[in-house]
């Protein structure tokens, strides 16, 4: 009996939100392996805000062509191999695409395939706290760019999300007083009660600017931004002297990248001798392994709170991006494919 798989393909460019009708789930029969190839049974696919920027047809991130499998990080197990050094049964992660079976050449550029340690727990950890777009991004953003100091008033936006939740925990470890911005009372409570943040702002119900003045009367010393737009402006207006603003993402802008709203309060940077710096984790290739090593140690000893929101079944992937942008998840959003 022939082996069949399922995959999610891109069928319509979104206008605004990436709604489920932009995707289709189809069955396929993979071709026989060629020399140098491996086949991976993909267990989890990552849902990241940056995927939305891959659906435009042009942009900073690698683009998805109509009819192609959605580009997404994945983790799974090798089930067949005709490539030296890639044994059946090994756990791997990389850009496997949203498909239950991935056939790839590990030596080809673009996949970033690597072996992972299955003994740490669920393979999904390698897309969350140990994943490049999640935990590694948070670690590098805090340790290499934001560099909070003990006693700093440090603010994190999208703080209940995959990256923000880890970035805030690392800043707290490094001695900062951490204030998280999130949407809704449940997420605000999660930041304080579960993650150990010092305070939280519910941007959906609180006056963001007033709460920032209340919580940071001497100004914000550091800001790790995943949102952009009005949230960025509100924090810029409350900067302390010689503050550092770290731009990790701008999720509020991704649905309309042709009309990105830049910060209107950027002159606060000059007035308060402050700096704003953007980054991506792959700009720091020599820091990726140190990041993963320390993050893995925290996972092992249980000192890093790891939260996952898992949608079951590959059929759920078409709704996953809209679910994320609507604020449906707390922590890392994943789709369990099988």
Q: What would the pLDDT profile of 120-172 be if each residue is shown by its tens digit?
A: 999 999 999 999 999 999 999 999 999 999 999 999 999 999 999 999 999 99
d(CA 161, CA 250): 13
Structure tokens at 297: 């140690």
Domains of the chain, first to last:
5-123+306-336 (3.90.180.10), 132-282 (3.40.50.720)
| Mean per-residue pLDDT, 161-190 | 98
Do 129 and 301 touch, CB atoms closer than 8 A? no
Helix%, strand%, coil% for the chain, nearest 5? 35, 25, 40
Structure tokens at 207: 């006056």
| Mean per-residue pLDDT, 201-217 | 98
Position 259 scores a pLDDT of 85
What letters, b where the CB count within 10 A reaches 16 and e where it falls short, cover 4-27?
ebbbbbbeeebeeebebebbebee
Structure tokens at 98: 């949203």
Helices (H), 24-142: 137-140
Q: What would the pLDDT profile of 25-53 be if each residue is shown by its tens digit?
A: 999 999 999 999 999 999 999 999 999 99
Residue 236 has pLDDT above 70, yes or no: yes
Q: What would the pLDDT profile of 63-93 be if each residue is shown by its tens digit?
A: 999 999 999 999 999 999 999 999 999 999 9
Q: What would the pLDDT profile of 261-298 be if each residue is shown by its tens digit?
A: 889 999 999 999 999 999 999 999 999 999 999 999 99
Strands (E), the chain: 5-10, 23-28, 38-46, 74-81, 91-94, 101-104, 114-115, 153-156, 177-182, 199-202, 220-225, 239-247, 275-278, 308-312, 332-336
Using the structure block, give the residue that is written with the tokens 């606060």. 268
| Mean per-residue pLDDT, 310-329 | 95
d(CA 276, CA 278): 7
For the chain, give the longest Cα–Cα distance: 70
Using the structure block, give the residue that is written with the tokens 């999208």. 158
Position 2 scores a pLDDT of 62
Q: How far is CA 59 from the centre of its chain?
A: 18
Position 255 scores a pLDDT of 86
Question: Which residues, at least 6 apart from 92, have a Cβ–Cβ distance to it below 8 Å?
Answer: 40, 75, 76, 77, 78, 86, 113, 114, 115, 116
Average pLDDT, the chain: 95
* pTM beyond 0.85, yes or no: yes
| Among 129, 125, 153, 156, CA closest to 248 | 156
Residue 1 has pLDDT above 60, yes or no: no
Q: How far is CA 121 from the centre of its chain?
A: 20
Q: What would the pLDDT profile of 247-258 be if each residue is shown by its tens digit?
A: 999 999 988 888
Structure tokens at 130: 């140990």
| Among 80, 22, 8, CA closest to 52 | 22
């Amino acid at each position: 009996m022939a082996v069949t798989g399922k995959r999610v393909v891109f069928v319509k460019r979104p206008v605004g939100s990436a709604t489920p009708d932009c995707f289709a789930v189809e069955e396929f029969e993979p071709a026989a392996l060629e020399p140098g190839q491996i086949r991976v049974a993909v267990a989890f696919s990552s849902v990241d805000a940056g995927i939305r920027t891959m659906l435009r047809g042009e942009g900073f991130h690698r683009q998805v062509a109509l009819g192609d499998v959605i580009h997404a990080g994945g983790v799974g197990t090798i089930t067949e191999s005709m490539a030296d050094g890639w044994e059946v049964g090994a756990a791997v992660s990389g850009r496997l695409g949203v498909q239950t079976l991935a056939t790839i050449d590990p030596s080809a550029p673009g996949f970033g395939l690597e072996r992972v340690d299955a003994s740490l727990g669920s393979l999904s950890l390698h897309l969350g706290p140990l994943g490049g777009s999640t935990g590694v991004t948070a670690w590098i953003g805090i340790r290499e760019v934001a560099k909070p100091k003990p006693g700093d008033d440090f603010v994190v936006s999208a703080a209940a999300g995959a990256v923000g939740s880890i970035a805030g925990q690392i800043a707290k470890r490094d001695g900062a007083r951490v204030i998280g911005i999130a949407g809704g009372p449940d997420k605000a409570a999660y930041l304080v009660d579960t993650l150990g943040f010092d305070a939280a702002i519910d941007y959906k119900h609180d006056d963001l600017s007033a709460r920032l003045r209340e919580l940071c009367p001497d100004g914000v010393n550091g800001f790790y931004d995943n949102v952009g737009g009005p949230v960025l402006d509100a924090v810029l207006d409350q900067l302390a002297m010689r503050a550092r603003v770290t731009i990790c993402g701008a999720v509020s802008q991704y649905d309309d990248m042709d009309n990105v709203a830049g910060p209107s309060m950027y002159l606060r940077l000059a007035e308060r001798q402050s700096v704003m710096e953007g980054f991506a984790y792959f700009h720091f290739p020599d820091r990726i392994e140190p990041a993963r090593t320390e993050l893995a140690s925290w996972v092992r000893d249980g000192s890093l709170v790891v939260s996952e929101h898992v949608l079951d079944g590959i059929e759920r992937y078409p709704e996953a991006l809209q679910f994320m942008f609507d604020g449906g998840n707390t922590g890392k959003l994943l789709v369990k494919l099988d």
